[in-house]
Amino acid sequence: MAVSIPFPKKKVARALALRELAVLEAAYPNAVTALDYDSPFTLLIAVILSAQCTDARVNLTTPGLFAAYPTPQALAAADQADVERIIKSCGFFRMKAKNIIAAARGLVERHDGNVPDDRDALEALPGVGRKTANVVLSVAFDEAAFAVDTHVFRVSHRLGLTLGKTPRQVEDDVVKLVPADKLRHAHHWLILHGRAICKAPVPHCGVCPVAPLCPSVKLVAAAVGASAAGVKKTAARARPSARAGATPRRGRSS
């Protein structure tokens, strides 16, 4: 059922926002990235591949990729068609193959084959935007960085933590709420909550631990109610025409 659920029009008070985040922290105490990686290089490539793709799909793809191209040097010298073949199931595979090869070349040419722990240097690599840089900085280097993906954007809005129209505005709002030492974990609290409960089409407010605090509960209920009423109306309108369609058939057969 497609339901259009508006975001709250006002941010919640800071004290309430902190209580909401504390509930999420308790709900997801061991939140870590779902991407498989064993070095900053493999994490960087996995994060680039994860755009518009599930982490599970990326995790199925990267073992083959890193078996063939285990280092930045190997990937920098890779044949693009072969990389495309390996990562094809990740979507946007031509662009991603081009980007990961170019990113590997950037690592080799500018950073001796190492992933830099510096935002500007990361964002200068092909295929690396602010979100990818934030994930690499926070996950690989334990930096106080907060990445905003589609789940983080949606859940932050539904909880009334932000009115930001862009990922950067959402990032700035949440960064003001979360202590620096918890920032990299907050990203995972919001992602896991968005994946498990506060889902995009219809959030499961009935089983959500933040529901007693969340300003979206009434908005969700109203949107779901309006959608169900719309479905009923459509069905009711369809019934008479179905009967009307049946009558001539009876007439014709008599």
- 224 touches ligand SF4 (CB under 6 A): no
Instruction: Tell me the site size for ligand SF4, rule CB under 6 A.
Output: 14
- 99 touches ligand SF4 (CB under 6 A): no
Q: Which tokens is 96 given?
A: 């991603």
Interface residue with ligand SF4 among 202, 211, 223, 224 (CB under 6 A) is: 211
Q: What is the largest CA-CA distance in the chain?
A: 88
Report the catalytic residues.
131, 149
Query: Residue 174 and residue 62: Cα distance in Å, rounded?
Result: 31
Q: Which of 231, 155, 224 is nearest to 196 (CA)?
A: 155
Complex with ligand SF4: residue 106 or 160, whichever CB lies closer: 160
Instruction: Report the nearest approach of ligand SF4 to the CB of residue 195 (Å).
Output: 12
Helices (H) and strands (E) in the chain, counts: 13, 0
> What track of x and - describes contact with ligand SF4 for positions 112 through 151 (by CB under 6 A)?
----------------------------------------
> What track of x and - describes contact with ligand SF4 for positions 162 through 201 (by CB under 6 A)?
-----------------------------------xx---
Complex with ligand SF4: residue 133 or 155, whichever CB lies closer: 155
Contacts 24+ apart (CB under 8 A), 51-55: 51/92, 51/96, 51/132, 52/91, 52/92, 53/90, 53/91, 53/92
Residue 156 near residue 116, CB atoms below 8 Å: no
Site for ligand SF4 in 31-60 (CB under 6 A): none
